[in-house]
Amino acid sequence: MSASCATPAPGASLPGSLLYDAAALRAIEAAALAHAGEATALMQRAGQAGWRTLLSHWPQARRIVVVCGPGNNGGDGYVLATQALASGCDAVVVRLEPHAPRTEPSRAMCAAFEAASGRIEAFGGALPPADILVDALFGIGLSRAPDHATAALIDAINAAGVPVLALDTPSGLSGDRGSADGAAVRATRTLQFLAPQLGLQTGDGPDHAGALSLDVLGVDAHCFEAAQAQARRIDAQDLAHWLQPRPRNAHKGSHGRVLCIGGDHGTGGAVMLAAGAALRAGAGLVEVATQGVHIAPLLARWPEAMVRRTDNVSAFAGALDAADVIALGPGLGQGSWGHALFDETLDAASAADTPLVLDADALNLLAARPRGLPAGAVLTPHPGEAARLLETDTATVQHDRPDAVRALAARWNAVVVLKGAGTLVCAPGGLPWLIAAGNPGMATGGMGDVLTGVIAALRAQGLDAEHAAACGALLHAVAGDRAARTAGERGLLPGDLIDVLRACANPEPHP
Ligand SMILES: NC(=O)C1=CN([C@@H]2O[C@H](COP(=O)(O)OP(=O)(O)OC[C@H]3O[C@@H](n4cnc5c(N)ncnc54)[C@H](OP(=O)(O)O)[C@@H]3O)[C@@H](O)[C@H]2O)[C@@H](O)CC1
Ligand SMILES: [K+]
């Protein structure tokens, strides 16, 4: 294999930024309190940051309704409401009877609000008229699904038809897992405190959190050393880290040879998409092993590809030997043809240690007939395939995507790309990568085939399995966003991504 993309040397700095969970935030908070003293000081800063955020995004708002819960998240809300009053706005706190403040600092902030003649209303089924709602019900202290009365309050927030600013976390959503066990606020914007939470950026997180802001509350940088990160977030800016300009004396052999295997009768388009994506993502040579009936249309679309008919399985042994990377699965099916190709390919790849990218039916076949994989394999399941690979159900995977991707990587000793909103990529025992790009237009048949081709092409160009998977998932998502910018998300096709892949795969180098 060649090296036209760069895998960072061990210890080299990695792109992106870190994401955390509630335990990490507690550790940062403890370090900050040990350093700076009082909890009320941090709460003051949090509420003031909330007020600044509200003012900068909704400067016209005059009627401000703050929904406060019983903990310190509620305390932040009382500070914000007090600030709003001081600025001449009409600020009202709404809360459930059992949600009177329970912590020392939130009691103090509630008392300060009342001392400033702030009004507190008990929620009786309807919220007062508002230009904006502030969600200060629960933050990182959410410990269970909201009960009936709390769910009614959350439903009223979501039904109010005005912008919602959530403090720290949209109430009801787990900032660790990216899922909700019951009712959860759908915010227009969420202002996170201290450090960004992983759960706001994967699964249901983006739909509930809305736009994201962060305020570190003036906490000293060393306080963050105590916190264990849960993921590394990468976005479009980070592509240039891996996709450097090519050396001037490169030749096609420098960029590796990808073999795409799949396309049973009726699903030939899948392997064509994978091959086209591999070509556009920069593979030096792309060969396709498929049913003979697909060869003519494939060559009409991609004359650059080499083809191998596989009506007879033994006919493509030479292609297996020659490949630097094998992409197995697009359109493979689970019939006898697919089974035979699956077995033959895994045997050959294991014997020769050829890097594999497995998708679609290759994953279903693997789940049905578990076997060891050669080192450095990449699996790209959607949540349903992930559930089969973990012998669980899709809801369980989506309930805790970070846990699922770590478990998959450990179970299969492979790099795993768990697709869906906030795609996660994880190597065995590694820190997951969070792909901060992509859009719901990409939830269309064939998008996964494009991803498979992209990852295989990057692997062929010299990235190791983890970096090929992370960079490939990012490149795929960035291409999806670029294609959607032209004419919208609805109706976006995998072929639209392939059309823009080349432009995305050649980012401007960092200065
Ligand atoms: N980290 C920091 O440095 C800073 C943190 N700050 C802020 O503090 C927040 C964390 O505060 P927190 O620990 O008091 O937790 P919080 O989210 O208010 O909720 C806990 C309360 O809710 C209750 N409760 C939970 N679930 C419930 C349910 N389903 N239904 C009903 N009740 C439920 C729970 O009751 P319990 O589980 O104990 O019965 C408890 O009473 C953080 O997100 C940030 O906004 C900033 O002030 C400054 C810097
Ligand atoms: K909240």
In a domain, 434, yes or no: yes
State whether ipTM is beyond 0.90: yes
Lowest-pLDDT range, 11-20, 311-320, 490-499? Answer: 311-320
C-beta 107 within 6 A of ligand 1: no
Percent of the chain surpassing pLDDT 70: 97
Q: Are residues 218 and 242 in the same domain?
A: no
pLDDT for 313: 63
In a domain, 241, yes or no: yes
Exposure of 487 in the CB half-sphere (CA atoms within 13 A): 6
Q: Where are the beta strands (DSSP E) in 292-414?
A: 306-309, 325-328, 356-358, 378-379
Residue 33, pLDDT above cutoff 90? no
Question: Nearest CA to 311 among 292, 294, 330?
Answer: 292
CB 224, CB 25: distance < 8 Å: no
Please give the DSSP secondary-structure letter assigned to residue 9: P
pLDDT band at 252 (very low <50, low <70, confident <90, very high): low
Judge if pTM exceeds 0.80.
yes
> What distance in angstroms lies between residue 52's CA and the mean position of ligand 1's atoms?
22
CB 361, CB 334: distance < 8 Å: yes
pLDDT for 343: 95
User: Domain of 308: which CATH number?
Assistant: 3.40.1190.20
Closest ligand 1 atom number to CA of residue 26: 1
Question: Nearest CA to 81 among 41, 121, 36, 126?
Answer: 121
pLDDT for 248: 82
Q: Are residues 418 and 351 in the same domain?
A: yes
Task: Tell me the C-alpha to C-alpha distance, in Å, between residue 55 and each of 58, 60, 165.
Answer: 5, 8, 11
pLDDT for 3: 63
pLDDT for 211: 98
Q: Are residues 180 and 60 in the same domain?
A: yes
pLDDT for 395: 98
Q: End of a domain among 211, 228, 245?
A: 228
pLDDT for 182: 96
* DSSP SS3 for 26: helix
CB 227, CB 195: distance < 8 Å: yes
C-beta 376 within 6 A of ligand 1: no
Q: Are residues 339 and 485 in the same domain?
A: yes
For the chain, the residue count is 511
Closest ligand 1 atom number to CA of residue 43: 47
Q: End of a domain among 228, 259, 277?
A: 228
What pLDDT, in 10s, does the model give residues 323-368? 999 999 999 999 999 999 999 999 999 999 999 999 999 999 999 9
Structural domain harbouring 184? 21-228
pLDDT for 5: 77
Exposure of 55 in the CB half-sphere (CA atoms within 13 A): 14
pLDDT band at 511 (very low <50, low <70, confident <90, very high): low
Question: Nearest CA to 478 among 454, 445, 449, 510?
Answer: 454
Closest ligand 1 atom number to CA of residue 47: 47
Q: Are residues 191 and 251 in the same domain?
A: no
What pLDDT, in 10s, does the model give residues 151-198? 999 999 999 999 999 999 999 999 999 999 999 999 999 999 999 999
In a domain, 3, yes or no: no
322 token code pair: 């020659």
C-beta 135 within 6 A of ligand 1: no
User: Domain of 221: which CATH number?
Assistant: 3.40.50.10260
Distance CA 332, CA 342 (A): 8
